[in-house]
């Protein structure tokens, strides 16, 4: 698909934005920046799904969809391949680190492998190499005696968070997948199943691999391209499969059954000792008080493996089962009462209609509203000044009683058409929050939701939202920005 090809990658936009961000921070000090220079401090938070390890690998020009990278042995080569394919992005992040700023990678549902130490080491090594290259180009190569100390200092500025990041001025940044049952993990700090070191697959990761990536012209970055109604799938089949010699129904049925079987096979009940250890690990990694972390975790959505009926409904397996039951019952009626042909024919569709009315399917909008609602409760749990999520792809920015709630939207290769000529996003969103050096703990933040458009930062406008239908809250104009310290968050 074109959206996976280099010309349609957002790497150039991201690099230009990060270089402009560095320039804005540099203006605040009047200096050129540097590892030991007195300057405004930037914390760049890359808020999950920066890397897509759910996408199928390409081996010998063919997509491989059956093997999710669940272990370090598999995930490290996959991550290294991604980093090799995106040198512009890696170099841009390296320049941020070379200026003496901190970069935080928060794991999302598409790059949950960032919880693995080996994967973190691979990313940190490439970013630090890029930072060293930038420093050498600017200041010359360091003396051999200083090289080790310099590398250690740079490595300390590449930080990873498995669940959420908490800044010292009261900002909580989290991807948000833990409030979506299709993408949530029981233990976000160590998202493993029965086998330690092997990541538990979620319904979202399995569907991405076994369904969306195998069904032709769906773009996983655009929810509206694959979250279709029955008539929507029929129209998709007529447009792309009718004369292709391939079966959409077969691909869907096989993928849906494999997804369900995999979830059933790998079900693992919640264990209190592991959960408590997971929460303690989160408190240690983030510096958040343990009671606040406990309250935070109570907001999680139950993983889909605990709600197999909902999974069956999402995959249309329940309706398939009803149709089969109706057909069997109809055949039985015809066998015993041949004169009952008309009632027998109507039995299957009657069952299906009655089921649809009695058991409504949760909408995608309802899921996203649940994620947005969780942000408000997270703020109360941590008494935070700001909570920033991602995951929903819907940019949001609003101040409520002095607390900022934001969503960093998406910078992914999202297009409305398969030819990739109509970008979904007219502008790229980011959240930029600021606090003053030495400010009191209760001092307010400033800033808010911005957009990167026409090679510059601009206040977010409601009309810059995606042109495809979205139902998130309308963003409000951010407060005027102050000077030091900055926390910028973006999502891939």
10 Å Cβ neighbour count for 475?
24
Structural domain contains residue 280: no
pLDDT tens by residue, 103-122: 999 999 999 999 999 999 99
pLDDT recorded at residue 280? 96
What's phi and psi for 100, nearest 5 deg? 95, 10
Q: Which DSSP category does 192 fall into?
A: B
Structural domain including 224 reads: 202-265
10 Å Cβ neighbour count for 391?
26
Same domain, 100 and 84: yes
Asked whether residue 358 carries a pLDDT value surpassing 70, the answer given is yes
What is the average pLDDT value for the chain, to the nearest integer?
Answer: 80
Give how many domains the chain has, as a whole number.
Answer: 2
Same domain, 191 and 206: no
pLDDT tens by residue, 288-339: 999 999 999 999 999 988 888 888 888 888 878 877 877 777 777 777 776 6
Asked whether residue 83 carries a pLDDT value surpassing 90, the answer given is yes
Instruction: Band the pLDDT of 367: cuts 50, 70, 90.
Output: confident
Structural domain contains residue 296: no
Residues 103-126 as b/e (b if ≥16 CB within 10 A, e otherwise) read bbbbbbbbbbbbbbeebbebbbeb
Q: Where would I find the beta strands (DSSP E) of 117-183?
A: 158-161, 164-166, 171-174
Closest by CA position to 445, among listed 43, 39, 161, 35: 43
Report how far residue 25's alpha carbon sits from residue 19's, in angstroms, rounded to the nearest whole number. 10
Report how far residue 186's alpha carbon sits from residue 265's, in angstroms, rounded to the nearest whole number. 16
Closest by CA position to 481, among listed 454, 462, 453, 460: 460
Same domain, 64 and 175: yes
Report how far residue 158's alpha carbon sits from residue 184's, in angstroms, rounded to the nearest whole number. 25
Average pLDDT over residues 196-201: 88
Same domain, 41 and 116: yes
Q: What pTM was estimated for this model as a whole? A: 0.83
Q: Where are the alpha helices (DSSP H) in 218-340?
A: 230-240, 248-265, 272-286, 290-297, 308-314, 317-336
Average pLDDT over residues 453-472: 62
- Decide which of 265, 287, 304 is a domain's last residue: 265
Same domain, 177 and 61: yes
Q: Which DSSP category does 409 fall into?
A: -
Angle CA(464)–CA(469)–CA(471) in degrees, nearest 5? 85
Beta bridge partners of 62: 59
Q: Are 109 and 389 in contact (CB under 8 A)?
A: no
- Decide which of 265, 291, 315 is a domain's last residue: 265
DSSP 3-state assignment of 353? helix
Same domain, 178 and 209: no
Structural domain contains residue 155: yes
Asked whether residue 470 carries a pLDDT value surpassing 50, the answer given is no
Q: Cα 333 to the chain's mean position, in Å? A: 50
Average pLDDT over residues 228-250: 71
Q: Are 457 and 20 in contact (CB under 8 A)?
A: yes
Same domain, 462 and 442: yes
Same domain, 156 and 234: no
């Amino acid at each position: 698909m074109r959206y996976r090809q280099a010309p349609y990658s957002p790497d150039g936009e991201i690099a230009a934005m990060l270089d402009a961000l560095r320039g804005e921070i540099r203006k605040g000090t009047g200096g050129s920046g540097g590892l030991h220079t007195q300057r405004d401090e930037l914390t760049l938070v890359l808020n999950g799904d920066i890397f897509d390890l759910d996408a199928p690998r390409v081996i010998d020009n063919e997509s491989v969809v059956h093997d999710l990278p669940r272990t370090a042995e598999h995930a490290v080569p996959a991550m290294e391949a991604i980093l090799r394919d995106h040198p512009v992005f890696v170099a841009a992040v390296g320049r941020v680190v070379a200026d003496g700023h901190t970069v935080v990678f928060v794991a999302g549902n598409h790059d949950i492998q960032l919880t693995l130490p080996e994967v973190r080491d691979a990313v940190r090594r490439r970013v630090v190499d890029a930072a060293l290259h930038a420093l050498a180009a600017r200041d010359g190569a360091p003396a051999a005696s200083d090289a080790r100390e310099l590398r250690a200092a740079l490595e300390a500025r590449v930080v990873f968070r498995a669940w959420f990041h908490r800044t010292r001025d009261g900002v909580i940044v989290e991807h948000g997948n833990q409030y979506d049952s299709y993408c949530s993990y029981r233990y976000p700090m160590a998202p493993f199943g029965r086998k330690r070191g092997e990541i538990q697959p979620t319904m979202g990761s399995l569907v991405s691999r076994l369904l969306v990536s195998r069904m032709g012209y769906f773009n996983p970055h655009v929810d509206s391209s694959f979250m279709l109604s029955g008539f929507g799938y029929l129209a998709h089949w007529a447009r792309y499969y009718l004369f292709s010699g391939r079966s959409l129904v077969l691909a869907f049925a096989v993928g849906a059954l494999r997804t369900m079987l995999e979830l059933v096979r790998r079900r693992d009940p919640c264990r209190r000792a592991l959960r408590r250890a997971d929460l303690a690990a989160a408190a240690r990694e983030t510096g958040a008080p343990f009671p606040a972390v406990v309250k935070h975790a109570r907001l999680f959505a139950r993983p889909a493996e605990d709600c197999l009926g909902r999974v069956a409904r999402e995959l249309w397996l329940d309706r398939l089962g009803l149709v089969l039951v109706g057909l069997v019952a109809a055949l039985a009626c015809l066998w015993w009462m041949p004169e009952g042909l008309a009632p027998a024919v109507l039995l299957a569709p009657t069952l299906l209609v009655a089921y649809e009315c009695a058991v409504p399917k949760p909408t995608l909008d309802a899921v996203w509203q649940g994620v947005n609602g969780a942000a408000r409760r997270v703020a109360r749990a941590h008494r935070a000044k700001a909570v920033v999520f991602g995951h929903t792809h819907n940019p949001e920015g609003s101040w409520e009683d002095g607390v900022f709630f934001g969503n960093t939207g998406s910078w992914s290769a999202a297009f409305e058409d398969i030819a990739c000529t109509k970008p979904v996003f007219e502008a790229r969103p980011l959240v930029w929050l600021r606090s003053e050096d030495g400010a009191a703990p209760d001092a307010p933040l400033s800033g808010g939701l911005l957009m990167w458009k026409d090679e510059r930062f601009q206040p977010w406008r409601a009309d810059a939202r995606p042109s495809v239908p979205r139902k998130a809250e309308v963003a409000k104009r951010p407060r005027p920005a102050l000077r030091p310290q900055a926390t910028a968050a973006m999502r891939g």
